[in-house]
Structure 1
Amino acid sequence: MKLSRADIVRGWTDLWLGDRGLSAFLVLVFLALFLGPIVDWPTVRLLTSLLLSLLMVAGVVSMSRRPTVRWFAGMIALCAIVLRWLTHIVATSAIARWSSLISLIFMVLLTVGTLYKVYADDRPVTAHRIMGAVAAYLLFGITWSILYGLLDQVLPGGAFSITGTTGGFDAERQEKLLFFSFVTLTTVGYGDITPTHDLTRMFAVVEALVGQLYPATLLARLVSLEVSRRGSQPEKD
């Protein structure tokens, strides 16, 4: 039986809107997160931008079944994708700042949408939902790194002291802030990157609190949902 284009589109949409989409989304997050910093080649940076673009597109599709929400998120994602690719072509500070701002707005929406899909209802707790919870945790780190990058660009004199850098915002500095974000989220704190502005110090404290409270509260909610679901099932004789 030959599938029509509408059936194929419907199948992909159902995949991303369902629990399996959370697992696929986690794979995209891992690839976009770890590929660029490992291999410092211009071609790989382009590939990282491509993966981030795919991540945004997948995020739009999986965010909600409501067309209005997906349309709104799609417009923001489109602007973020265009601005990110422009940074490879026209490397101006204005484009970099707008790219960071629009990307930050979209990542906040994507993180909230992912959390809603994972924790909003009392469906059975599957491996896909657990992977979605992990993806949300990684999105926290990515979102905060974009926020740090934006603050580092707009605050006078920069917002961070980074060992081994001479100043000026570029892709390498953003990757170092990504490292700082996850170090802060996991409360490791190596000390080679330090916030130097009151605003960035405040956000670093908030991120550290989120990093501690998320496993203790939201991940525990998955356990409570599964326990309550099993408790509501009738006992078998």
Structure 2
Amino acid sequence: MSSLAGRTAIITGSSSGIGQGIAIRLAREGANVVIDYVGAPEGAEETRQKAEATGAKAIVVQADVAKVEAVRMLVDEAWKAFGSADILVNNAGMEKKSDFWETCEDDYDHVLGVNLKGPFFLTQAFVQRLRAAKKPGRVINISSVHEDMAFPGFATYCASKGGVRMLMRDLAVELGPLGITVNNVAPGAIATPINTSLLEDKPKLNALLANIPLGRLGSVDDVAGLVAWLASDEAAYVNGSTFIIDGGLSRNYHEQ
């Protein structure tokens, strides 16, 4: 029997990259998957087809996680389609590069809206339904090594991910008595479409690889495998932790 058979997972931002990989992996483990997207639907449809090819059931929902009414609708659609939703993967995220002294309010609102407000209110809607049904659940946030590591030029991103770290710690305590665990997965440099410019810039890529002890970028499958484990019964006693998945990058400090 598949490890997630009979369960339903909502994965935000799952039309490409890490989110798509997570949705397909959870489907392979037997979960029904709710594929959330904001922009073009083609990627979400590709995720659905690949998820259903594993034998799982999947639906596609367009929902902007920065809007409270949209995340409530997303949870409602999951329950309507599958009768429950017991795994939530807060994956949707974005970044905007700018010097701190030039960062505008719109960029701040956009980044914090997607990266922090979204997980806050989507998790709230997810938990409200579980609490009413007296059911346990799993919340897995795709954070970043930058919930701890400084990233000059990306103050809004670091602030949002630092917020997700503390939100996870608080909710692990607050929701634990309900049987709901909350954990973060914090990727480092992962080979995804969002990093295409890095992958094509050989000097910059080689400089980065020199700082990663394993000597390679992470893959979407690396991250998806960790998420699948956290969603499984094997991780039933894991709560309130961040799992760094960066090949050792954040530990690779050198004295000058």
TM-score (norm 2): 0.28
More strand by share: 2
TM-score (norm 1): 0.30
Higher-Rg member (1/2): 1
More helix by share: 1
